[in-house]
Chain A
Amino acid sequence: MRLGDLTVAEVAARLGGAGIALDFGPVRARVRSTERSFASAIREVYREFADAPGRGFFDVTATIRSAAGLRRFIRRQVQFFVDGEAPFDPFPADTHLPLLEWGLNWCIASRCNNMLLLHAGAVERNGCAILLPAQPGSGKSTLTAALARSGFRLLSDEFGVVDLQNGAIRPMVRPVALKNESIDVIRAFAPDACIGPSFPKTRKGTVAHLAPDRASVDRRKWPARATLVVFPRYVAGEALSIEPMEKSRAFVKLAGNAFNYEVLGPLGFHAARRLVQSCACFRIRYGDLRGAVAAISQLLEESDAAGSPMAPQGAAA
């Protein structure tokens, strides 16, 4: 049963008990909390995910719970615990979901060294993956969300996951974190999109999360062939421009903003090398989201890498 099919009370009961087990594709997390409003938020943005309980290994066991002491009563705060430790300072109690998402990002980035983790959005169409690596503030999540609402399968918003064995791009399906103006931009772009509650005054401003669609969640074990690497940059009012990028420069940028390139040593070198050699690499600057989506769709159509879908990895839920 999917979280969206459960009542808030049922989700809250599970969070307060054994926890909700979420399978993102290559990573499984168990989440626990006794915060009632957190149950409502997580139900909304993870609505298409099944609670996948049972035994088995969890890469992350996370708990969101009230901070201790006076903070239980005055300007309530919550803390992110992972395996019993609290790696971050407490957050205001009404920012529990952003805290969970950032906490999960931190856990994945620091633990999952069986794959190359690029800081990139990723989408797929016709078996071909497009990576969108970018620095914070460059419009990566907005563009990823727009592509995911334009016929592309969402692979990931935060992590471009490169399989070290075969170079495929693996999904890491989780909600897309939209910030500030991009929340309304995506609401206008895709009025039927499911966007969870807005959390104002976080450390990154107002944050809201786009729920992944059912097809992307259900195909989270299906990798895709690395085909395009597109470095996006949103500049307000700027006309669309696309230029090919030298592979050597693409390599340096990819490795430079990866979470674990240097941790992986030669494995990271081989994975990044194979990635840039197998992909066409571009820079795109845009001020209009629809124009950027159309241009990226066109780039993919012009690539000759389309082919049969890759086989799923692990058991699909």
Chain B
Amino acid sequence: MSDPLWRLRCPDGFESVRLDAELLAFNPISWQTHLLNAAAAAALEELTAGPRSVRDLALALCGDEPHDADVAEHMNLVESLVAELEELGLIEREHTGNAAG
């Protein structure tokens, strides 16, 4: 089973700003503003460039020369970040159009 892709739930109205090390993200659906820590900010900013899998995000968070061990270690962190961002309504799983799903 392939690693699902995640994307911004509403990229058109999504707004964010870096302040200090943190990110303020405005959710255009709920009109709520969320203060995200550096790791969540990095994941969300990566998703503003387009859909990503958890592994893609872990790779991005590892920096320029990721080692497999580092990526594996980051996968758990990224999975929990993705779950939290989804709960906030900022991201969603990309629909592939496959009815079997």
**Chain A contact residues, CB within 8 Å of chain B:** 246-248, 251-252, 255, 262, 265-266, 269-270, 273, 276-277
Given contacts A266-B15, A269-B33, contact A248 B20 (CB under 8 A): yes
Given contacts A246-B19, A265-B31, A276-B19, contact A251 B24 (CB under 8 A): yes
Chain B residue contacts of A265, Cβ below 8 A: 28, 31
B15 touches A248 (CB 8 A): no
Can you give 20 A-B contacts (C-beta < 8 A)? Answer: A246-B20, A246-B22, A247-B20, A248-B19, A251-B19, A251-B24, A262-B31, A262-B32, A265-B28, A265-B31, A266-B13, A266-B15, A266-B31, A269-B15, A269-B24, A269-B26, A269-B33, A273-B17, A273-B24, A276-B19
Interface residues of B in 4-58 (CB under 8 A from A): 13, 15, 17, 19-20, 22, 24, 26, 28, 31-33, 35
Inside 8 A of B31's CB, which chain A residues have their CB? 262, 265-266
Chain B interface SS verdict (over half):
strand
Q: How far is the CA of A266 from the CA of B30 in the complex (A)?
A: 11
A247 to B22, CA, bound (A): 9
B contact residues, total (Cβ < 8 Å): 13
Residues of B within 8 A of A (CB): 13, 15, 17, 19-20, 22, 24, 26, 28, 31-33, 35
Query: CA of A131 to CA of B20 in the docked complex: distance in angstroms?
Result: 21
Known contacts A266-B15, A276-B19; is A248 also within 8 Å of B24 by CB? yes
Are A247 and B19 neighbours in the complex by a CB distance under 8 Å?
yes
What is the CA–CA distance of A175 and B22 in the complex, to the nearest angstrom? 39
Q: For the complex, what is the distance from the CA of A252 to the CA of B33, rounded to whole Å?
A: 9
Question: What distance in Å separates the Cβ of A256 from its nearest Cβ neighbour in chain B?
Answer: 10
CB distance from B22 to the nearest CB of A (A): 4
Complex: how many Å from CA A277 to CA B17?
10
Residue of chain B at shortest CB distance from A256: B33
Q: Are A252 and B35 in contact (CB under 8 A)?
A: yes
Complex: chain B residue closest to A255, CB-CB: B33
Contacts of B35 in A (CB 8 A): 248, 251-252
Most buried by A among B22, B24, B26, B33: B33
Instruction: Please name all residues of chain B whose beta carbon is closer than 8 Å to the beta carbon of A262 when the two chains form the complex.
Output: 31-32
The distance from the CB of A276 to the nearest CB of chain B, in whole angstroms, is 7
CB distance from A274 to the nearest CB of B (A): 9
Q: How far is the CB of B11 from chain A (nearest CB, A)?
A: 14
Complex: A265 Cα to B13 Cα, angstroms = 10
Besides the contacts A246-B19, A251-B19, what 16 more A-B pairs have beta carbons closer than 8 Å?
A246-B22, A247-B20, A248-B20, A248-B22, A248-B24, A251-B24, A251-B35, A255-B33, A262-B31, A265-B31, A266-B13, A266-B26, A269-B26, A273-B17, A276-B19, A277-B19
Complex: how many Å from CA A248 to CA B40?
Answer: 15
Nearest 8 pairs of A and B residues by beta carbon: A248-B19, A247-B19, A269-B26, A248-B22, A265-B31, A246-B20, A273-B17, A248-B20
| A231 CB to nearest chain B CB (Å) | 16
